[in-house]
Structure 1
Amino acid sequence: MLTVLRPVVVGLDGSLESLAAADWAAREALRRGLPLRLVHAYEGLTPEASRLPELEAPRSWAAGILRGAMDRINERYPQLRLSADQISRPATDTLVRAGEEAELLVLGSRALSGFYGFTAGSVALATVARATRPVVLVRAGRTSEDERLPDAEGRPSARAPYREVVVGVDTSHPCEEVLGFAFENAALRNAPLRVVHTCRPPGLLGAANAEAEVIARRTAEQALAAATGPWREKFPTVRVCDVVQSGRPVPQLLREAEDAGLLVVGREHRPAGLGVRTGPVAHAVMHHVRCPVAIVPHA
């Protein structure tokens, strides 16, 4: 039976962020042995509008986005199987549909502030909230050297070992998809994997609180070990470090991901009719983590 390979798909809009996403997606496609598909949505390309001369300039600009990105990728990664599509549909609908057919979808993300980051109406945030497959967000300026540790002299190097993959896990919810994605990516990079779980501190006082916190942490460690156990057996070469801390998950993940090459978090996939949202943890790390962030939908 012929196996159909899902491509890595990257959404392009001509920004520096989307070009960084295209570079990251190209390297990821090579790591996975998959083709890369470039997608640009342009709502002006309807059959009726195609004959309007006043749309010639924006039409040429839109086509130039794909041509420029294809030339860039072909020059930097000539061994990559590459395709490109310009689609006449709203951007979010286009990216969500393309992501359904992809191994993962890669998008550019903006600067670290409320105004320049993900706003409620942004294409990236809306796409993440509706996607049924993993989505990776990449900042402008990210290079292949940023994925790796510095060399022996402390300089950026494309030959040094990969930085660790960090994954945030909530053992009270299903996390198989999230852990599977994190272990797979650590294995692809031969990188260490840091599994982070934050447990809620007990609402007690004094010595009783200290004892209750020890019990709570021990219980959380056991739950995390049970969740990661099957994946450790499936990926025996991955070096895993379990981290259990009391407190709030977002500050903990931000600290753990400071030197990471990739952060993986989950997002609950909501059935149609229940609305779309990213969840507080995914929303926070998308705004504040500098390394690429993978958001993995789960049941």
Structure 2
Amino acid sequence: MARPITAGVDGSPESRAAVHWAAREAALRGLPLRLAHAWLWQPLDVPIVQDREEQARSAESLVREAESEIARRYPELQVSAEVVPDTAVAALLDESERTSMLVLGSRGHGAIVGFIVGSYGQQVIASAASPVVAVRAPSAEDQDEAAIPEPREGDEVVVGQHGTPDDCDAVLGFAFETAAAHGVGVRAVRAWSLPTLYTYSPGSMRLADEAGGLEPFEKKALTEALKPWRERYP
């Protein structure tokens, strides 16, 4: 049975964008979509009325509304939704064990600073058993999360390659698979620099010397890492 793509749902605009992104990706890959919302009854130590049943109904309503919205947009897509009785990090890490991809919302913070994923998002990205995708909410000029961008000429998936082929096997596989699903190319980047005074030694430079220098060594390493994936995705 194919593993689904799973999106975390919490009712925020970022989460809604993540759900729509996950739905589009699942449709492209021919995979089912799973929506998960973590909710655990945790009474607060404050003198206010707390209704456990009302909170449970609210959590259930949250995922059902997301499920209904996606079902209307993608009638051919297999969609399931569940309220998971656990904390957010524990629930998402558990979901990552049985999904092909975990999709979370992310608050944009500009092109230079990058993503703000929150403390739970950082923990999930660091420890998840599956690939994790952080999705920005749409800008003020583009509020339609369901608009499907068509691939443009020159579009590509950029992937960083480091170490040996075994070190980067999973990330290269994800990059090529994603590029194939979207009908775009792959740009693989391997960064290197001259060794520092503290890391340089005749022994550490032996492999580079055998390859004809540092740059030829790095090019060879990149070519070897990409070879099986180029063959699998010609």
Structure-1-length-normalised TM-score: 0.63
Contact preservation (8 Å) 1:45, 1:88? no
Instruction: Measure how far apart 1:75 and its partner are.
Output: 1.5
Residue number among 61, 66, 71 corresponding to 2:68 in the alignment:
71
State the distance in 1 between where 2:34 and 2:58 align: 19
Report the equivalent of 1:157.
Answer: none
Choose the corresponding residue for 2:172, options 167, 172, 179.
179
Aligned to 1:101: 98
Which residue number in structure 1 is paired with residue 161 of structure 2?
169
Structure 2 portions without partners, runs of 5+: 44-48, 140-144, 198-208
2:194 aligned to 201, 219, 240, which one? 201
| Long gaps (5+) in structure 1 | 47-51, 150-159, 205-211, 237-299
2:117 alignment counterpart:
118
Q: Secondary structure at the match of 1:40?
A: strand
Q: What is the aligned counterpart of 2:129 among 127, 132, 138?
A: 132
Question: Which amino acid in 1 is paired with 2:161?
Answer: V
Q: Distance in 2 between matches of 1:117 and 1:6?
A: 28
- Whichever of the two has the greater Rg, that structure is 2
Give, in whole Å, the separation in 2 of the partners of 1:83 and 1:192. Answer: 32
Change in CA separation of 1:118 and 1:108 when aligned onto 2, cut-off 3 Å: closer
Q: Residue by residue, what CA displacement relative to the aligned partner does 1:67-107 show, whole Å, maximum 9, x if unpaired?
A: 22112211211110000000111111111111111011111
Contact kept in structure 2, 1:148 and 1:162, CA below 8 Å: no
- Give the Cα separation in 1 of the matches to 2:233 and 2:130: 22
Aligned to 2:82: 85
Letter matched to residue 89 of structure 2: T
Tell me which moved more, 136-145 or 59-68.
136-145
Q: CA deviation at 1:188?
A: 1.1
CA-to-aligned-CA distance 1:101-143 (integer Å, 9 cap, x gap): 10111111112278x8234xx2111111111111111111175
Residue matched to 2:7:
10
Deviation at 1:175, TM superposition (A): 0.7
RMSD over aligned CA atoms reads 2.7
| C-alpha separation in 2, matches of 1:161 and 1:94 | 39
CA contact (8 A) 1:45 1:59 kept: no
Structure 2 CA distance for partners of 1:147 and 1:174, relative to 1, 3 Å:
farther
Letter in 1 for 2:160: G
What is the DSSP-based 3-state SS (H/G/I as helix, E as strand, rest coil) of the residue aligned with 1:25?
Answer: helix
**1: distance between equivalents of 2:27 and 2:229?**
24
Assess if the C-alpha contact under 8 Å between 1:41 and 1:87 holds in 2: yes
Paired AA for residue 233 in structure 1 = E
User: What secondary structure is seen at the aligned counterpart in 2 of 1:199?
Assistant: coil
2:9/2:15 contact within 8 Å kept: yes
Residues of 2 paired with 1:140 and 1:61: CA distance?
A: 23
TM-score by length of 2: 0.79
For residue 58 of structure 1, give the secondary structure of its aligned residue in structure 2: helix
Query: Cα offset for 1:215?
Result: 3.0
Distance 2:42 2:195 in 1: 58
